[in-house]
Structure 1
């Protein structure tokens, strides 16, 4: 490599030591293509330190890339860990910025060795409990922010993002109808078929209408819908907000003086709260249709007999039980999905991990909430 006047420049990275002053002058190209000489020069710096202060002069470095900066910062960390000290001098502004960025990316500490299976199990259990407690507190705090944002929107209706709300209703509810109807229809038919096969032993196959009527309207319809919405819309919310975090669009909203909760979260959660009850009702009707068709095919029932027995078996409060649960499940799904979206960091791996966590946590909490409602309704005999 030559300069404009034809003088040859050194390609390899070098480190020239001054034993008297403890100064190390670096020269050459500290880049990836000179990795062997970079490592050799870094080893000389570490050997020169030997527990005493060292001043590294960067003024004669021809070029510094990420590898060279990382090796220098790694060497500095090793020297400081051994009780020495390393400082830089004469660095160009761009080199100083690169070294500063490398200094922020400290390597992760190695995991502590396991002390046995029991110890490892208790350690993991404790970590899960602490993480669950942290998630619970975070969820409550985020729910408070959403409620406050909703109150601000209610106080100033002109700030409500009506277009975003309608778009989310379309994505959550209307576009989700086909798959939810199909799966609910099939599940209703399967439940009815298995119920008929078991009740035929006692000559009571007609009671399958009571079985599917109560099970679908009270539990299965809203539960299946919530699980499918968590997997379909909840994951989409996490991916959308996570992608905005990766592109720093959320930070841009804050810089412009806008509230991301009010703009991004409120329309999505309101769409879930409005759309999930409608989907649950449609899913229940589809499951009853699937169960009725199966009862006619396998149980020899007529349409009139199925409908009359269904009318005698269920009442309006059974429908209300399922619909009462739906908004609460929608709120849980929306809160979890948006929290996980805001926690996405700047990598595709982080996005995938939080989308997975969003679906798993949402489904788990939906089932837990359904169990709590079942206990509550049984206690009040509703």
Structure 2
């Protein structure tokens, strides 16, 4: 079994202290004594390498480091060791690893200023992106044949049809939760029958569309950003421009149109599934027959609640699609950007949807739809 690197501190014939190194000083073996040599605080005069059997760049660097720390002279070097010493001798950097941190009163305004400038740049980019979309839409209005129907149908399937199972299951379970929790609270006042009102109105007016928009943002919005971002990195979008195809017309508009249209159907579908979930739990827990629950829904839910959900749905779909496509088109540099932009697309879309939902709630209450 081969021995690892060794060292010893001896006193020479002239009374000078010598650090004698022996064995292989290679990257594969030097870890055994690396820390011991780095923290050596003895005063040395020489470092003798005459017994070193093998040495590489890491071993030479460690010897130079110890020599500098102890103000010692390196002796007994072989031709290879001497060559390596000259190569790495000047690479030791005593500078601080981390830069000095500015004071809090300086750091906070600087960070805030950077964020404000980034926000201004982002607003300009977004406005430019929206301008490109409007110009592409105007071009397609003048020349309807440029609209890519096959691409839109493909996106309709991806955004809508493929999302039916997960959105249906989610909405069904949300309806069960609302009915169960609502019934538990209303039972304290002897008003369990009002569970029908609670489930019908909150799902058709708010949660059905809102939860669907959040699901679409996480599912389709992220897919838009990842797909377009990957195409940007692989220069497919640049290639499309080169051969005279507009990426906005071919990639962005079909996705926006599909997401906007499908959100209307998915939002209504989610509301229906939530009501069915509420009807099931009401039948099991409250003794309200399933058919009676559905008939009661028609009596207690105003028609304008349905319209509130249908009005919000395409707006939410438009926001989700715009955010996903915008972030995807901003990818540049490396593959890490795809992940960062995809995350931004989901977060910003969900945030925008919730803010718009709050705005719609106030607006519709002001116009009497409450």
* 2:129 pairs with one of 125, 142, 149: 142
Q: Deviations over 1:49-105 (max 9, x none)?
A: xxxxxxxxxxxxxxxxxxxxxxxxxx9xxxxxxxxxxxxxxxxxxxxxxxxxxxxxx
Tell me, in whole angstroms, the C-alpha distance in 1 between the residues paired with 2:107 and 2:281: 50
CA shift in 2, pair 1:167/1:219, >3 Å: same
Q: 1:205 corresponds to which residue? A: 192
Q: Deviations over 1:256-302 (max 9, x none)?
A: 12211111101110001111111111111001101111111122211
CA shift in 2, pair 1:129/1:144, >3 Å: same
Give the conservation status (yes or no) of the 8 Å contact 2:282–2:290.
no
CA shift in 2, pair 1:335/1:35, >3 Å: farther
Q: 2:223 corresponds to which residue? A: 236
Q: 1:82 corresponds to which residue? A: none
CA shift in 2, pair 1:320/1:259, >3 Å: same
Tell me, in whole angstroms, the C-alpha distance in 1 between the residues paired with 2:110 and 2:327: 24
Q: Deviations over 1:212-250 (max 9, x none)?
A: 111111110110110000000011110110000110111
Q: 1:227 corresponds to which residue? A: 214
Tell me, in whole angstroms, the C-alpha distance in 2 between the residues paired with 1:313 and 1:297: 21
CA shift in 2, pair 1:140/1:211, >3 Å: farther
Question: TM-score, with normalisation over the residues of structure 2?
Answer: 0.70
Aligned length: 277
Give the conservation status (yes or no) of the 8 Å contact 2:319–2:349.
yes
Where 1:344 maps in the other structure, the secondary structure is coil
CA shift in 2, pair 1:171/1:206, >3 Å: same
Unaligned 5+ segments in structure 2 are 1-55, 62-90, 92-97
CA shift in 2, pair 1:312/1:357, >3 Å: same
Q: 1:59 corresponds to which residue? A: none
* 2:355 pairs with one of 368, 371, 376: 368
Structure 1 residue 150, shift from structure 2 partner: 1.3
Where does 1:175-214 land on structure 2 (aligned, <5 Å)? 175-214=162-201
Q: 1:151 corresponds to which residue? A: 138
* 1:160 pairs with one of 142, 147, 159: 147
* 2:256 pairs with one of 242, 262, 269: 269
Structure 1 residue 204, shift from structure 2 partner: 0.4
Structure 1 residue 159, shift from structure 2 partner: 1.0
1:345 equivalent to 2:332? Answer yes
Provide the alpha-carbon RMSD of the alignment: 2.3
CA shift in 2, pair 1:137/1:316, >3 Å: farther
Tell me, in whole angstroms, the C-alpha distance in 1 between the residues paired with 2:206 and 2:100: 46
* 1:305 pairs with one of 282, 292, 305: 292
Tell me, in whole angstroms, the C-alpha distance in 1 between the residues paired with 2:100 and 2:238: 36
Q: 2:311 corresponds to which residue? A: 324
Structure 1 residue 208, shift from structure 2 partner: 1.0
Q: 2:101 corresponds to which residue? A: 113
Q: Where in structure 1 do 4 or more consecutive aligned residues deviate above 6 Å?
A: none
Question: TM-score, with normalisation over the residues of structure 1?
Answer: 0.68
Q: 2:158 corresponds to which residue? A: 171
Structure 1 residue 123, shift from structure 2 partner: 4.7
Structure 1 residue 205, shift from structure 2 partner: 0.8
Give the conservation status (yes or no) of the 8 Å contact 2:212–2:270.
yes
Q: 2:368 corresponds to which residue? A: 381
Q: 2:30 corresponds to which residue? A: none
Structure 1 residue 130, shift from structure 2 partner: 4.5
Q: Deviations over 1:26-61 (max 9, x none)?
A: xxxxxxxx989xx9xxxxxxxxxxxxxxxxxxxxxx
CA shift in 2, pair 1:304/1:361, >3 Å: same
Tell me, in whole angstroms, the C-alpha distance in 2 between the residues paired with 1:213 and 1:326: 17
Q: Deviations over 1:116-167 (max 9, x none)?
A: 2x66555545544554454344333322321221121121111111110100
Tell me, in whole angstroms, the C-alpha distance in 1 between the residues paired with 2:180 and 2:106: 48
